[in-house]
């Protein structure tokens, strides 16, 4: 008689809340408020930067795709060089993303298991574009008028109006993102107002948990 393997203990399901928005909308600022309130936030872009420098098989695949110069003389991923190649080559960008995104997905799944809060938050500019919202319990979109975002990013990054405008034009239009979002934060006012809206959403999420 073959002894049956015991069923693995079900992992406590944690609810993933996606945080997204276009450039300069306030994703990072909202995420910091959420962390201050005691919830963990996974910063996809920050983690991705780390992953490309700490994952030798991925590094090999990226070099095979883009050449050895994708990593600089100190062995670090060269965003500048890679950016120049993929900027005008959508096919190459897609191929690069098809290498990096699965690695980020695995990293995120491991990260989720390290946290024991009922909600974990994932900040990513590409929540709807990559359909990552499909694996989220709820999504939060932060949005603000274009002029407001332009000014904030120009101040923050020392970029020109034209540079920021080009990035904005290449992102999914706000009106499309709004259709997908469960919660929408309008970030045209001050930080106190932004914090208040964030806390209101946290309250609704907590209430939702109690009701279920």
Residues contributing to the site for ligand ATP (CB under 6 A): 21, 23-29, 125, 152-153, 156, 187, 190-191, 194
Closer residue to ligand ATP, CB minimum distance, 138 or 151:
151
CB closer to ligand ATP out of 18 and 71: 18
Q: State which residue, 19 or 86, has the beta carbon closest to ligand ATP.
A: 19
Q: How far apart are the first and last CA of the chain?
A: 43
Q: Taking the complex as a whole, how short is the minimal distance between the CB of residue 23 and ligand ATP, in angstroms? A: 4
Least distance CB 87 / ligand ATP (angstroms):
17
Q: How many CB atoms lie within 10 A of CB 136?
A: 18
**3-state class (DSSP) for residue 167:** helix
- List residues bridging with 210 in a β-sheet: none
142 closest CA partner among 34, 5, 9 = 34
User: Given the complex with ligand ATP, which of 72 and 176 has the nearer CB atom?
Assistant: 176
Phi, psi of 128 (to 5 degrees): -85, -35
Closest separation in Å from C-beta 91 to ligand ATP: 25
Q: How far apart are CA 165 and CA 154, in angstroms?
A: 10
Looking at beta carbons only, is 63 or 161 nearer to ligand ATP? 161
CB of 4 to ligand ATP, least distance (A): 49
Q: How far is the CB of 148 from ligand ATP (least distance, A)?
A: 8
Whole-angstrom Cα distance, residue 55 to residue 60? 9
Tell me phi and psi for residue 160, to 5 degrees: -80, 165
């Amino acid at each position: 008689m073959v002894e049956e393997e015991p069923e693995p203990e079900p992992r406590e399901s944690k609810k993933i809340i996606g945080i997204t928005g276009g450039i300069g909308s306030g994703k990072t600022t909202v995420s910091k408020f959420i962390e201050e309130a005691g919830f963990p936030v996974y910063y996809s872009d920050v983690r991705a930067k780390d992953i490309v420098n700490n994952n030798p098989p991925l590094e090999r695949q990226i070099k095979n795709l883009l050449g050895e110069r994708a990593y600089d003389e100190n062995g670090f991923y060269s965003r500048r060089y890679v950016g120049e190649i993929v900027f005008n080559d959508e096919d190459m960008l897609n191929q690069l993303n098809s290498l990096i995104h699965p690695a980020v997905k695995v990293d995120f799944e491991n990260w989720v298991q390290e946290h024991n809060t009922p909600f974990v938050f994932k900040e990513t500019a590409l929540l709807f574009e990559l359909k990552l919202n499909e694996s989220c319990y709820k999504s939060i979109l932060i949005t603000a008028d274009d002029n407001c975002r332009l000014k904030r990013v120009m101040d923050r990054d020392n970029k020109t109006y034209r540079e920021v405008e080009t990035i904005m034009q290449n992102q999914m239009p706000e009106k499309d993102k709004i259709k997908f979002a469960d919660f929408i934060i309008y970030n045209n006012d001050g930080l106190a107002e932004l914090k208040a809206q964030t806390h209101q959403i946290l309250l609704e999420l907590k209430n939702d948990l109690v009701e279920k």
